[in-house]
Amino acid sequence: MKKAFLVELTVLTGYIKQLLPIVAITGVFVAAGMGTTVALAGIFVCMFCMMGSMAASAYDDASNWGAYRLTLPLSRRDVVLGRYAAVVVMGALGIAMGALVQLLAATVGALGILPSEIGGMFVMSPNDVLASIFGVFFCLLMGMTAASLAIPFHFKFGNTKATQFLPMAVMLLYALVIFIFAQMSDRIDVVPMLSQFLAWVETPAGVATCAVVMAAVAVLILFVSAAVSMRIYARRDL
């Protein structure tokens, strides 16, 4: 798997240089729209997870790289595991870079070197720090879920067809979540429970617990997705 992983990283290295300005511009617009930089780190994490998996899959179809790669001393299992390992590294890189950018933004706010109209956006209270940490792990979960959903489609259909089926799959998943929530609302008084949960999440213990749970769920989703992808790719005729 190590060789397949290094191949994936080689492909993604050049893409990271293109991704950084896109993430930075997105972060600026989101921060300006929200009036705070709380979401900066989360944006890096989410986009690195999702865009990393999409870029690697798109490269498979470029110049028939996916078929050529199988002529190398790599098994299909190694190719799949290498892809998921690369996504995990992209997620970790997103966390590291997001945390660095968030720290720089908070430092700028603390120093007060910007005009008050702009500088206030960079100031972070203790509650903002908790919100930022929660946002990082929530975006990690969302990014890994999106990657876990996309990768099996790419291994099954290739990048071109996968981009046609993925929106439908996302909409079906979204509809399923709404349906489950609606069914729960009919049987349980959700509003008081949700209010209590949100109040608990705003505490340091709540943020820490949610962070651990979301990270564990993200890992579980990746494992399930990898198992599905290995079965799919083993049967695919390239």
Give which of 84, 124, 95, 102 is closest to 220, Cα–Cα.
84
> Which tokens go with 24?
């930075």
Give the confidence band of 224 by pLDDT, cuts at 50, 70, 90. Answer: very high
Q: Is the pLDDT of residue 217 over 90?
A: yes
Higher pLDDT, 101 or 214: 214
C-alpha angle 13/17/21, rounded to 5°? 150
pLDDT (average), residues 31-43:
81
Strands (E), the chain: none
Q: What is the pLDDT of residue 222?
A: 93
Q: How many angstroms separate the CA atoms of 161 and 192, rounded?
A: 44
Give the confidence band of 33 by pLDDT, cuts at 50, 70, 90. Answer: confident
> Which tokens go with 18?
């293109």
Cα 156 to chain centroid distance, Å, stands at: 21
Identify how many contiguous H helices and E strands the chain contains and give both numbers.
8, 0
Q: Which of 9-13, 58-62, 181-185 has the highest mean pLDDT?
A: 9-13
Cα 230 to chain centroid distance, Å, stands at: 21
Least confident of 31-35, 108-112, 113-117, 205-209: 113-117
Cα–Cα separations (whole angstroms), residue 140 to 43, 55, 137, 145 = 9, 18, 5, 8
Range of the domain at 220: 2-235
Q: Is the pLDDT of residue 94 over 80?
A: yes
pLDDT (average), residues 125-146:
89
Higher pLDDT, 191 or 99: 99
Q: Is the CB of residue 48 less than 8 Å from the CB of residue 91? A: yes
Q: How many angstroms separate the CA atoms of 72 and 49, rounded?
A: 26
DSSP state of 64: G
Total tally of structural domains belonging to the chain = 1
> Which tokens go with 216?
């564990």
Give which of 204, 192, 32, 20 is closest to 130, Cα–Cα.
204
Give the confidence band of 67 by pLDDT, cuts at 50, 70, 90. Answer: low
pLDDT (average), residues 35-59:
80
